Structure 1
Amino acid sequence: MLQAFSADPPCAMCGQTASHVELVPPHAKPVTWQHWSPQERRTFEAARQRRGPQQWWLLYSGIERGNGSGDPVDEARALRIVAAFTEPYCYSAVTTAGFYDDAGFCGQCDAPYCHRHWNVSSSGYGTCPRGHGKSLDPHWWPEDL
């Protein structure tokens, strides 16, 4: 049975959170709700009402971007996310969740890195501490075009 879930893969370099993935059950509040501003709370509640308060809600913060006040997800996607972020974390599992930036994981290193340890260009293309590159922004476009 699906339950509230959150994952914060730690950066392989410093241990800080590389990304945040949270599944919020219908009618529940996010785990960090008490730290949200009144405006963030209103935005979350309004979005949830518009899209269906009976749905599961996905909150995501990645290396460069996130999904703001969240997105509704069906149970199949929620189960896929839970499976992808079950410890121990590994790139091959995390990629099955379908996040544009693979939740900060470098596929070649099989490790997550935080924003500080990804060298991210102004276009959103980044290189990990070992020099492997990838897009970390869903709107990335090569700088040399």
Structure 2
Amino acid sequence: MPRAFVADPPCAMCGRPSSHVELVAPGAKPADWQRWPPQRRDAYDTARQRHGDQQWWLLFSGVVAGNGHGQPVDLAQATRIASAFAEPYRYTLVRTAGFYDDAGFCGPCDAPYCQQHWNVSSSGYGTCPRGHGKSLDALSWPDDL
């Protein structure tokens, strides 16, 4: 069974979050709900109601993009994502979550980097501080082209 959680893997260079991953349990609110402005709360509630409040919900902000007010995830996805973000964070586990940008992790470095430390081009392709490259935007070209 998955567990609700918040993960903000710290950038290996500066300690700021490389991404924000939050798995919200059915019927629950996000962890920092009380700090959200009313407009954001309303948009979130509308999105949840449209998909049904009795399912798992994923909030994601990556290096380049995110999923806005979130998206529904089924039990299998929720379980996989929760397992992928067990601490200590490791690229081999985080990669199993299936995020297009691996939550800011560089595979060869086995480390996450924030937006400031990924050198991202206008096409969404980025290089880490050690020069390893990858696509960081879901709409960019795949790495292997």
Q: TM-score range by the shorter chain?
A: over 0.9
Please give the per-residue CA displacement for 1:45-93, whole angstroms capped at 9, x wherever unaligned.
Answer: 0110110111110000100001000000111111111111101111111
| 1:127 correspondence with 2:127 | yes
Deviation at 1:141, TM superposition (A): 3.6
Give the equivalent residue in structure 2 for 1:40.
40
Deviation at 1:35, TM superposition (A): 2.0
CA distance in 1 between counterparts of 2:38 and 2:64 reads 24
CA distance in 2 between counterparts of 1:124 and 1:86 reads 27
**Relative to structure 2, which stretch is displaced further, 77-86 or 34-43?**
34-43
Q: Percent identity?
A: 70
CA distance in 1 between counterparts of 2:100 and 2:140 reads 10
Deviation at 1:21, TM superposition (A): 0.7
SS in structure 2 at match of 1:39: helix
CA distance in 2 between counterparts of 1:23 and 1:96 reads 15
Deviation at 1:2, TM superposition (A): 3.0
Give the equivalent residue in structure 2 for 1:99.
99
Please give the per-residue CA displacement for 1:88-137, whole angstroms capped at 9, x wherever unaligned.
Answer: 11111111000000000001111000001000111111000000010000
CA distance in 2 between counterparts of 1:129 and 1:62 reads 17
Please give the per-residue CA displacement for 1:1-26, whole angstroms capped at 9, x wherever unaligned.
Answer: 43321111110011111111111111
Any stretches of 5+ residues in structure 2 without a counterpart?
none
Give the equivalent residue in structure 2 for 1:20.
20
Any stretches of 5+ residues in structure 1 without a counterpart?
none
* Letter paired with 1:94: V
SS in structure 1 at match of 2:123: coil
CA distance in 2 between counterparts of 1:26 and 1:78 reads 11
CA distance in 2 between counterparts of 1:121 and 1:3 reads 36
What is the TM-score when the length of structure 2 is the normalising length? 0.94
Deviation at 1:28, TM superposition (A): 1.0
Matched residue count: 142
SS in structure 1 at match of 2:9: coil
